[in-house]
Amino acid sequence: MTLTNVVSLFVGLLWCHMTMASGTDGQSTSGPAANLWPPQVQVAVWVPFEPTAFQSAGQQYVVYELYLTNFENHTVRVDSIEVIDAIGATAKPAASFEAPQLNRMIHRVGQPIIGDEIGSAEDNSQRDIAAGQTSIVYFLVKSAEHAQIPDRLVHRLVIGDSTVEAAAISTHHDQVPIVGPPLIGGPWIAGSGPGNESHHRRQILMLEGSLHISSRFAIDWIRLKNSEASSGDKQDNRSYFSYDQPVLAVSDAKVVSKIDSIAENIPGHFGKGKLAVAMSYDTMFGNMIVLDLGAGQYAYYGHLKPGSILVKEGDRVKRGQIIARIGDTGSSFEPHLHFEITTSNSALRGEGIPYALDGYTETTKDGAIEKRMHELPLDGTLVTFGNR
C-alpha cells in the first residue's frame, strides 16, 4: 500500500469516527457505545523499504525502518514492539523491544540528528508521538546463534490499551552481492559501520519528494596502527595511516561516474580542521568513483585523494584493480574511505543494501583472530584483508 493510500484510508476512518461519535444527524451519542469507536488506535504503521538478511560474526541480521504516524487527536506512547514470524513457524518473537532500549531506537521526524548523538535511554518521551506526528523506529534484528531470521516478519505494537499487528515484510528483498575487499591488508576499523546508532544509519535524505537512506550499510574505513589512526601532526593528512593507501575495485564492473576536482581538507575533529569546499550535493562525497556491479547495484567510493583516480567513466575494471587512493575530501574530518553499495547510480538517491565481503579476518575485542567468509563487518569491527 502506498503512503497516499495509507493517508486516504486514515482520513476516511477519522471522518467515520467523528460521524459515528456524534450520530448521523450531528447529535452526540451517550453511554458505552460512545467509547467503542474507533476499534483500534489510529496509528499508521509501514516499512518503506524491506530489508535483506545478511551474515556477520556467525549470526544473521536485518536492518530496516518502521514508520509510525499518529492520526489521533492526542499524543500516544509506544510501550513495546515485538518482531514476530509472520508465517507462524516459530512462536517465540524474533526480537522484543521496550524501554529503555526502545527509547534509543525511535526518532521523531524533524528532530535534528547531530553526528552519532542518539536520544537518552532514560528519556521515555522519545516513545511519545504527538497528534499528526511521524516517528521512525530504527531496527537491527539479530538471529539467535546458528539460527536464521524468518522469511517474513510482522510487528506487534502495544500503544496504550491497544495492541496492533501490522507491517508484514519480507526479509529477502535484494540479492546480497559478494564482493572483494576495497582495501589492502590492515588492520582497518569499520568506522560508523552497520549497526543501529552510527550517523550513517540515520542519514535520511528527501530528494524529489522521496525518502532515501543510501548510507544504511556504509563504512568509513580507517587504518590503525597500535590502535591509533595517526602519528604526528593531526592537521597534516600525511600523518594518518589511511592516507594515500590504494583503493581497489571490489568486483569486475563498469565505471559509472567519477569526480576528481575537489581539494583536500585540513584534517581535524570538533572544529579543529577546515573543509576545502562548502558542503553541497555535489561535494558531499568529495572525490569519488561509482561502479556498476550489475543487477541494479552500485558501489560508491568517497573522499578520494585529488589526482589519484586511475579510471574514467565507461571504463571496465577488474576485481582487485587499484582505482584510486584514500584522501580527505568532501565531508571528511580525516583521511578515510567511505564505501557503500546502493540501488542507484545517482549519489544519495538509492537505498543502502547489505553486501558480503568474500573473506577477511576479524580481531575480536579479546584479541582473538577469527576468519570470516561471506560476511559484513558491523560497526567498530577490526578487519584485516588477506591481500597484502
Q: pLDDT per residue over 315-354, tens digit each?
A: 999 999 999 999 999 999 999 999 999 999 999 999 999 9
Cα dihedral 313/316/321/327 (nearest 10):
10
- Closest by Cα among 195, 218, 220, 259 to 353: 218
Residue 68 has pLDDT above 60, yes or no: yes
Q: What is the pTM of this model?
A: 0.89
DSSP code per residue over 13-59 = HHHHHHHHHH-TTSPPP-SGGGGS-SSS--EEEE-SS--B-EEETTE
Q: pLDDT, tens digit, for every residue of 86-98?
A: 998 677 899 999 9
Q: Which residue has the higher pLDDT, 269 or 290?
A: 290
Q: CA–CA distance from 216 to each of 108, 145, 186, 204, 299 (Å)?
A: 18, 24, 24, 9, 13
The pLDDT, as a whole number, for residue 386 is: 87
pLDDT at position 33 is: 53
Task: Give the per-residue pLDDT at 32.
Answer: 53
Write down the pLDDT at residue 155: 97
Structure confidence by residue, pLDDT tens digits, 199-222: 899 999 999 999 999 999 999 999
Contact 317, 301 (CB under 8 A): no
Residue 1 has pLDDT above 60, yes or no: no
**pLDDT over 50 at 15, yes or no:** no
Q: What H or E segment, with its residue span, contains residue 10?
A: helix 3-22
Give the pLDDT score at 43. Answer: 97
The pLDDT of 245-259, averaged and rounded, is: 98
Average pLDDT over the chain reads 90
Please compute the mean of the pLDDT values over residues 97-126 and round it to a whole number: 87
pLDDT band at 37 (very low <50, low <70, confident <90, very high): confident
Question: What DSSP character marks residue 95?
Answer: E
Determine the Cα–Cα distance for residues 189 and 176; give it in Å rounded to an integer: 22
- pLDDT interval class at 21 (50, 70, 90): very low
Average pLDDT of the segment spanning 174-199: 95
| Average pLDDT score over residue span 212-236 | 97
Q: Indicate if the pLDDT at residue 34 is higher than 70.
A: no
